[in-house]
Structure 1
Amino acid sequence: MSYKGLLFDLDGTLIDTIADLSDSMNHVLTGLGFPPHHETEYKSFVGSGIRNLARLALPETARDEATIESCYRRMVEHYSRNSLNKTKPYEGIEELLDTLKARGLSMSVLSNKADAETQRIIAALLPGYFDLVIGMRSEELKKPNPAMALQIADSMKLRPEEIVYVGDSDIDMLTACDAGMYAVGVLWGFRSREQLVQAGAATIVNHPAEIASLL
């Protein structure tokens, strides 16, 4: 198959967001009287949106709906003002995107981060590369639901099997497989090789440059 496009996840794939996510979540937790977490712990918390992050960051004894909602709203407010403090593209990503763009390949982004925040981060850090940038617009449509991935394929005027889906999580690999796209798992993000393989990754890469060689 000749691949004609790529669909990228955002957090843990294109952009290293973990420091700002953990800083904001810890700020909220301590403000509510709950213990913070080490930054590395957040790698297992992220991937399914801010509401799920808030739920997992709270102690199990405090995961009632009212507390989760309060934590979520405070997190959205604080993170929106602090999401670009430490966040940056991973090493080699801009070079990869330059290479792919020069080859005339279509590229888009699909994230479980809120749509407005996804748009803002891409506009600030990786402008001009992508045909479409879409974040989470509803809980029902968030990954691993493949609906938005398929909608993006349609908008790119490509068949799913012509698209390489690049992500760092089991959620991404499940989305790619359910959408009928070629699933590429990256190891510089938030999940292990084992998790990616178990979720259906067809290929695992250690550095962004390896993605260009696949095409």
Structure 2
Amino acid sequence: MAIANSLMNPRLVEGLKTIVFDNDGVLIDSYEANMVYYGTIRSELGLGPMTEAEKYYVHTRTHEEAVRHIVPADRLEQAFAIGRTMNQADLAPYFKRSDGIREFLWWLRAAGFQLAVNTSRGESMNLVLKLTDLEGFFHPVITSCVVSKPKPHPEGLYRIMEAHGVRPDEVAYIGDSVVDQRAAQAAGVRFWAYRDPALDAEVHVEDFWSIRAAMQRCYKGCAPAF
């Protein structure tokens, strides 16, 4: 295990061609938005607040998995109907771009890296990227809507590697949950944990300024000034 900083062993970041990002909790801080969304569904159904374990679950899983986990089986149809009436744009005030992420993405692109997203989020992903001014950085953007098996299955990472023409050892996946960890392990790619020291990761990233500094020792790039 290593902590990402300018003194980290550069061999840990050498040989990379593709950087893949999880969305919720990595590219953006969407925790509050998810709590509002799923909390509203439970409230509309007359159910009590979510437990801490339920909050963690809904923040890391697909929409369908999350709803099925926090709503009784006989209320699922109602729950999904409530979800369909909620406008994701109304949650915009609760979406916050992670500090330093846009600057890190600019630097990665300037340094020649290919960038992609592998997320459990579904149809709302394009809107989230637009709301947080992160459109145009990633290809492909793999959501739960375009895979037959969502994370932790490695299908999404396999599709990214095929699209980029890279080997598993040339890919780093930055995630913040055990679901991301398992997906990376199943695909054989490097796993970098974002702000969770309990995860089993090759590199632990506390912030995007630090991982950028670590990578600059191996890769040359010139990000635009902000």
TM range, normalised to the smaller chain? Answer: 0.7 to 0.9
Count of residues in Structure 1 that have an aligned counterpart in Structure 2: 201
CA contact (8 A) 1:9 1:172 kept: yes
Residue equivalent to 2:45: 32
Residue equivalent to 1:147: 155
Q: What SS is found at the alignment partner of 1:100?
A: helix
How far off its partner does 1:41 sit?
Answer: 6.2
How far off its partner does 1:57 sit?
Answer: 3.1
Pick closer, same or farther for the CA change 1:179–1:79 going to 2, 3 Å: farther
Q: What SS is found at the alignment partner of 1:34?
A: coil
Residue equivalent to 1:205: 205
Aligned amino acid, residue 210 of structure 2: E
Pick closer, same or farther for the CA change 1:54–1:29 going to 2, 3 Å: same
- Higher relative helix content: 1
Structure 1: state its 5+ residue gaps: none
User: Which protein has greater RCO, CA pairs closer than 8 Å, 6+ apart?
Assistant: 2
18-27 or 146-155: bigger deviation: 18-27
Residue equivalent to 1:168: 176
Aligned amino acid, residue 170 of structure 1: V
Structure 2: state its 5+ residue gaps: 1-13, 219-226
1:40-189 to 2 correspondences below 5 Å: 42-58=55-71, 63-64=72-73, 66-78=74-86, 80-114=88-122, 116-125=123-132, 126-137=134-145, 140-187=148-195
State, as a whole percentage, how many aligned pairs show the same letter.
24
Aligned amino acid, residue 130 of structure 2: A
CA contact (8 A) 2:34 2:58 kept: no
7-16 or 72-81: bigger deviation: 72-81
Hey, what's the Cα distance between the residues in 1 that align with 2:202 and 2:77? Answer: 37
Pick closer, same or farther for the CA change 1:43–1:76 going to 2, 3 Å: farther
Larger radius of gyration: 2
CA RMSD of aligned residues (A): 2.2
Hey, what's the Cα distance between the residues in 2 that align with 1:76 and 1:38? Answer: 23
Q: What SS is found at the alignment partner of 1:45?
A: helix
Hey, what's the Cα distance between the residues in 2 that align with 1:137 and 1:103? Answer: 31
Q: What SS is found at the alignment partner of 2:120?
A: strand
